């Protein structure tokens, strides 16, 4: 058995695409996954599988969510090894707090290469970006947000092909995946 996570894009955000976590868990059970755990309402589903590839899981989860809830939701699927390695490479002093903002952009297939960094407009005075483990880690000081490229990111090509979590959430997910 391997532990995986499905990071769902755009559920329970701004009152849109509402899915109750108990119903989402049931959906994953019906898909045949086991030892299912959801974490916060933004679509983080940890589960175990013994045979499916990440590409197959992604298609299966997206289809299952559509059939169960009538929503076209994209998923990014990673295994515990990927999440653990990602967390190891993020500088320990990067956090999401009153002083700084650190987001992890989990990239969809086709965008999950280092070349994607060149598609993001940044201000080198405040933005620090790293490509790590099929994701981009983006760190800025909170007081630099207005100067950052982050506030202009919504609607970009990369934005439409990723799902984001803050670094605190990703570190917690890594711990929850240690089974």
Q: Does the pLDDT at position 151 exceed 90?
A: no
CATH T-level topology, domain 84-176: Alpha-Beta Plaits (3.30.70)
Q: Does the pLDDT at position 118 exceed 80?
A: yes
CATH 3.30.70.1260 domain extents, the chain: 84-176
CATH 3.30.70.1280 domain extents, the chain: 2-81
Per residue in 18-66, pLDDT (tens digit) is 999 999 999 999 999 999 999 998 899 999 999 878 899 999 999 999 9
Q: Does the pLDDT at position 163 exceed 90?
A: yes
SS (H, E, C) the chain: CEEEEEEECCCCECCECCCCHHHHHHHHHHCCCEEEEEECCCCEEEEEECCCCHHHHHHHHHHHHHHHHCCCCCEEEEEHHHHHHHHHHCCCCCCCCCCEEEEEEEECCCCCCHHHHHHCCCCCCCCEEEEECCEEEEEEEHHHHHHCHHHHCCCCCCHHHEEEEEHHHHHHHHHHCCC
How far, in Å, CA of 172 to CA of 130, rounded?
20
As a whole number, the mean pLDDT across the chain is 94
- Bridge partners, residue 101, by sequence: 140
CATH T-level topology, domain 2-81: Alpha-Beta Plaits (3.30.70)
């Amino acid at each position: 058995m391997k532990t995986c996570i499905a990071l769902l894009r755009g559920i329970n955000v701004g009152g849109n695409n509402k899915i109750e976590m108990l119903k989402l868990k049931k959906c994953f059970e019906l898909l045949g996954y086991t030892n299912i755990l959801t974490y916060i309402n933004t679509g983080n589903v940890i589960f175990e599988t013994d045979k499916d590839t990440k590409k197959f899981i992604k298609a299966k989860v997206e289809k299952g969510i559509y059939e169960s809830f009538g929503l076209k939701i994209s998923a990014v699927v990673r295994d515990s090894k990927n999440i653990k390695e990602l967390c190891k490479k993020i500088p320990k002093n990067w956090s999401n707090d009153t002083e700084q903002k650190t987001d992890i952009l989990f990239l969809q297939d086709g965008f999950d290469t280092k070349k994607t960094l060149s598609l993001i407009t940044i201000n080198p005075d405040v933005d620090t970006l790293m490509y790590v483990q099929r994701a981009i880690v983006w760190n800025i000081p909170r007081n630099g947000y207005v100067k950052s490229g982050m506030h202009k990111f919504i609607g970009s090509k990369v934005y439409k092909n990723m799902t984001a979590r803050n670094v605190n959430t990703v570190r917690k997910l890594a711990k929850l995946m240690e089974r």
